Structure 1
Amino acid sequence: MGRKRQSRFDLPPRVYEHHGSYWYRPRYDKPINLGKDLPLAKLKWAELEDPANERGSLASLLDWYLSTVAPKKAPRTYADNLKEAVFLKNGLGHIPFRQLRPHHVATYRDARAQDAPVRANREKALLSHVFTKAIERGWVDVNPCAGVKRNSESKRERYIEDEEFWKVYNLAENSVQRLMMLIYRTAQRPEDLLKCGPGNIKKVRSGDKEIKVLRITQDKTGATVDVRIEGDLEDLVNECLSGKIVHSHFVHTRQGKRYTYSGITSMFTRYVKTSLVLDFGMYDLKGKAATDMYRSNVPLEQIQHLLGHKSVTTTERYIKARMPSLVNSNKVVMRANI
């Protein structure tokens, strides 16, 4: 709850005067300048507070979504939505959201595709979900994103060779090494693994035996995966538990605090640059894990469960995009050349 107003009781909630201008302070974002004219400032405030009013712009609808819907998403998704909304506001925010049409969305998509075609797809996906929520509340009847095609995207085909992995690993500090190995041994997303610690170690029954597993909840899919703790993963977990102080997260700063995804990714990127290995992202470790398991004859169904894919077909495409096409030559015996 915000502080109780001490003056200017004529101003609407969350509106303040500063240096002659009126400012609206959202709960989740930077202050918004409403201008110097109080009646106009109140109109803008009403639009921001209630996107369903007749004058509601797309910007106000986005603000409503970012304050009521987006915060319930996974932290990284929420952070991405905040960034995506900035571009949507710049391109379409001035249009009353009830007047937004598919041709507006298509024009925006094409303009953004000049510099960031993939990001344009993510922004369109956000816009579509915003209108889905608006439809549920009876504010609009149709979604202007319906029927507007996405920009084409090329699949990620990068496979990290063992030598490339070790080049980066051997340069990295312990926390980055630990995360690299956790990703490779579990095939999980780095964001999910950054939340893991001793509390994720569980004992479960497997037949007539009790085994230890690393229980991981995937933010993206909502699925819970139990990864058996054995082999190299067991060695890694034991290393995490062997210190004089056992911290609440396996991957942590020197002060014992949990790393943010952006923070440790920046560190990883620096080590990649120093190693001179080209085009190596942290998510490529997950792809390498799945591909290496497939090459070692691990059943696709097991890899699918680890990755959280809804179908084996998705898993197969995910893996084979990273594998070079290797086929035998034509060995059919031809008739003799007479």
Structure 2
Amino acid sequence: MPPMGRRRKDTASDLEPRVYLRSGAYYYVHRTGKWEGLGKDKAAANEKARLFNDPAGLQGTLVHWLDLFLVHCEARVKAGSMAQRTLDDYTQAIRGTPDREAKGKRTATEGKAGPLRVFFAPPITPLDVTPAMVNEYLEIGAQMGRPVPANREKAALSSCFGWLCRNSKVPGLLINPCLRASGIQRNRETSRERYVTHEEYRAVWAEAHLSTRLLMEITYRTLQRPESDVIHWDTTVLSRNAAGKRVLKFKQCKTGKVMMIEVDDQLEALIQQSLGDVRSLRQPLVRNRDGHAYTYDGISANLKKAISRANAKRKAAGQATIPSFGFRDLKGKGATDMWLAGVPLEEIQALCGHGDKTTTEIYVKARWRETVTPNRVAM
């Protein structure tokens, strides 16, 4: 029987065993004597400590390592090396959907468990997972009508295995069973081909509120990811270049590349209108009436409402309705319009943040639907 921990010298009886409060932050003391920071939030610190203390006896199982992997990802988000949206996707795949009555608590036992937690339930360990099991997971996802979410969940699992392998967390684990080299074939996905026409853009623009217009225009002009980059921008991204022109200077969340994009007059006017005359430090560019930043889901709902209002007017005028589209489609529209205007693919690639020019070429050409001249060569 392992020796019991020493009696606390403080009176923080609501803390988990081995958790201590020092200088306003909580720390967990491992059995090796190592102190690990848990942050300043008591509830979050206790939740992480429960994983380390392992009261459910999950030590060594894949589920236990998946939970610890999320703790690692949370630290990466705070350090700026991982996007919050990526963490949210991983959390959804592993911990699942929290119960609405849980009042914001995000533990594995509340609400609907994550699909990875269900499929790879204890006593499965990382060493038990084979490429055949991962392929089976993808096939079941496709049979259930959710092939794309299954692909995303597999990506979360693969990222966890990569973390385990790189850091030698599990003795004997040398190969990531989720990689293509292991024989994994993800579910087929249909490429996004939606091209928003100029007419559709203008019709929705006319019905959109200021914040929606601003995100539409920034996404179209800069080709940045609206869900992981633009939605998080604040006044700190606004600066001037050596020539004194207004620019957006930021680091792409996915690639880490520092970008500097010039602001044209129309975009400048929208930004000024959104920020107003009285500004505060780190004021969000895309914000609601209370001055707070929008969530991506919230601003996307506003875009859908603008499309609905535009379609109501088009129906009354006997015109065809506008098929639904999202802000991400406006990034594709911007890239395609630049390509049709003769802008080199290398420049479009740099703006999009694609690692390969071939990706940019597919990205823009998938949305090109012009009628072409047939072969008229005489035989």
* Separation in 1, partners of 2:294, 2:54: 43
Structure 1 residue 235: deviation in Å?
A: 3.1
Taking only aligned residues, the RMSD between alpha carbons, in angstroms, comes to: 2.9
**Residue 143 (1) aligns with residue 176 (2):** yes
Deviates more, 1:166-175 or 1:265-274: 265-274
Within 5 Å, give how 1:1-338 maps onto structure 2. 5-6=12-13, 12=17, 27=44, 44-47=55-58, 51=59, 56-72=60-76, 73-85=82-94, 86-94=114-122, 95-114=124-143, 115-138=145-168, 139=170, 140-145=173-178, 146-190=182-226, 191-205=228-242, 209-240=243-274, 243-247=276-280, 248-276=283-311, 277-324=322-369, 326-334=371-379
* 1:101-138 CA-partner distances (Å, limit 9, x unpaired): 22211111111112211111111111111111112232
Q: Distance in 1 between matches of 2:12 and 2:297?
A: 37
Cα distance change of structure 1 residues 66 and 26 upon mapping to structure 2, 3 Å threshold:
farther
Moved more, 165-174 or 301-310: 165-174
Structure 1 window deviating more from structure 2 (150-159 vs 266-275): it is: 266-275
Q: Cα–Cα, structure 1 residues 217 and 33, in superposed 2: closer, same or farther, change >3 Å?
A: closer
Q: Is the 8 A contact 2:249 2:261 kept in 1?
A: yes
- Conservation of the 8 A alpha-carbon contact between 1:225 and 1:305: no
- Give how far 1:279 is off: 3.0
- The count of residues paired between Structure 1 and Structure 2 equals 302
Per-residue deviation, residues 35-78 of structure 1 (Å, max 9, x unmatched): xxxxxxx864453xxx4xxxx22111111101123541211111
Partner amino acid, structure 1, of 2:157: L
Do the aligned partners of residues 59 and 180 (structure 1) sit closer, same or farther apart at CA in structure 2, a change above 3 Å counting?
same
Q: In 2, Cα distance between the equivalents of 1:275 and 1:226?
A: 34
Mind listing any 5+ residue stretches in structure 1 that lack a counterpart? 15-24, 35-41
Counterparts of 2:46 and 2:85 in 1: how far apart (Å)? 16
**What amino acid is the match of 2:366?**
A
Amino acid at match of 1:131: F
Partner of 1:202, secondary structure, is strand
Identical counterparts, % of pairs: 35
* Structure 1 residues 134 and 98: alpha-carbon distance in aligned structure 2, compared to 1, 3 A threshold: same
| TM-score, length-scaled by structure 2 | 0.72
Q: Which residue of 2 aligns with 1:17?
A: none
**Structure 1 length normalisation: TM-score?**
0.80
In the alignment, is the contact (CA less than 8 A) between 1:240 and 1:246 conserved in 2?
A: no
